[in-house]
Amino acid sequence: MSAIAARPAMLVTGGAKRIGAAIARAFGEAGWHVIIHYGRSREQAEALAAELPSAEIVSADLDDWIEGPAMVEALAARLDDWRVLVNCAGVFDIDSAQTLDPDVFTSAMRVNAATPTRLGQAFLASARALGGRRLIHVTDQKLLNPNPDFFSYTMSKHALAATIPMLSMARLDSRDRVYGIAPGAILASHDQTEAEAEISHRMNLLHRRATAQDVAGAALFLAGGWLASGETLFVDSGQHLTAQPRDVLFLARQ
């Protein structure tokens, strides 16, 4: 038996950087074979894979209707125990409730909602796994704490979140699970400085900055399938319980 075959496999999209990389590291350290998807970050993906006990890299353009599902089907054909798919990749471009940008909207809905849904459908239809499969969508605490900023992004995450109960209800194998993880402000984003992030990311009930490792730990927990299918975990130090009139990026600058 090969080293890969002896380990359960997982794929994380956008796994070369940021939260995706933290998820990849957590699973790798826990004994999984990690498949790191990247778009344009090949060097970072290769470097991360070299750090892990068992890993490989794959590439697909998630703004393409065909490439993502084809990647999943190719992996499913050769992996004997592929248990987890974490859809973490996404785009976070700015527009607002006053001025929806058509290009930003089209990209957000494709990359953040349509493609991860299609990846999940292909995974649940074709992956072989011992004990059931786990499809995990990374969404956002904006599901329960929306504001008018990053309008298309927020719509796309609401659309993705809507698929979680629907895909769960459509399962053909009762051992499968479909989950969501809704992070709060984790890493500096858009044009934010680290100093601004240190302020904005504590604008929550605990006044604590949630970490990428917190999200990775939640993904590992969900991989065990302990929760009922269709559940979403909020990893945000209570940010979703605090109404905020604007994105914290801008609140930190006021």
For 74-131, write each residue's pLDDT tens digit.
Answer: 999 999 999 999 999 999 999 999 999 999 999 999 999 999 999 999 999 999 999 9
Cβ atoms < 10 Å from Cβ of 90 = 24
pLDDT more than 90, % of the chain: 88
Which DSSP helix (H) or strand (E) runs through 58? Answer: strand 55-59
Instruction: Give the C-alpha distances (Å, rounded to integers) separating 133 from 17, 80, 116, 121, 224.
Output: 24, 12, 15, 12, 10
210: Cβ contacts below 8 Å, ≥ 6 apart: 183, 184, 185, 186, 201, 204, 235, 236, 237, 239
**What pLDDT, on a 0 to 100 scale, did the predictor assign at position 1?**
42
| Rounded Cα distance, 162 and 103, in Å | 22
On whether the CB atoms of residues 196 and 188 are closer than 8 A, the answer is yes
2 found inside a domain: no
Identify whether 102 is part of a domain: yes
Q: What angle do CA 156, 217, 120 make, to 5 degrees?
A: 40
Burial class, 57, CB count within 10 angstroms (exposed 0-12 / middle 13-18 / buried 19+): buried
Amino acid (one-letter) located at 148: P
Task: Assess whether pLDDT exceeds 50 at residue 228.
Answer: yes
**pLDDT value of position 149:** 95
pLDDT band at 3 (very low <50, low <70, confident <90, very high): low
Element (H, E) at 15: none
Distance (Å, rounded) from C-alpha 94 to C-alpha 14?
Answer: 20
Q: Select the more confidently predicted residue: 235 or 188.
A: 235
In this prediction the pTM is 0.96
pLDDT of 217:
98
Whole-angstrom distance, CA of residue 124 vs CA of residue 14: 20
Is the pLDDT assigned to residue 239 strictly greater than 60?
yes
pLDDT tens-digit readout, 6-43: 899 999 999 999 999 999 999 999 999 999 999 999 99
Q: Which two tokens stand for residue 139?
A: 């969404």
∠ CA 164-167-173, rounded to 5°: 125
Q: Which domain holds residue 75?
A: 9-251
5 pLDDT more than 70? no
For 117, other C-beta atoms within 10 Å of its C-beta total: 21
For 190, the token pair is 């858009």
Instruction: Name residue 254's amino acid.
Output: Q
Assess if residue 66 is contained within a domain: yes
Residue 243: exposed, middle, or buried by beta-carbon count in 10 A (0-12, 13-18, 19+)? exposed
Is 65 domain-assigned? yes
Any domain includes 4:
no
Task: Domain count for the chain, please give it.
Answer: 1
Q: Which residue has the higher pLDDT, 48 or 200?
A: 48
Burial (CB < 10 A; 0-12, 13-18, 19+), residue 112, is: buried
CATH number of the structural domain spanning residue 131 = 3.40.50.720
Residue 1 lies in a domain: no
Which helix or strand (DSSP H or E) is residue 172 part of? none
Q: Is residue 227 part of a domain?
A: yes
Domain-embedded: residue 205: yes
Q: What is the mean pLDDT of residues 235-247?
A: 95
Backbone φ, ψ for residue 101 (5° rounding) = -95, 120
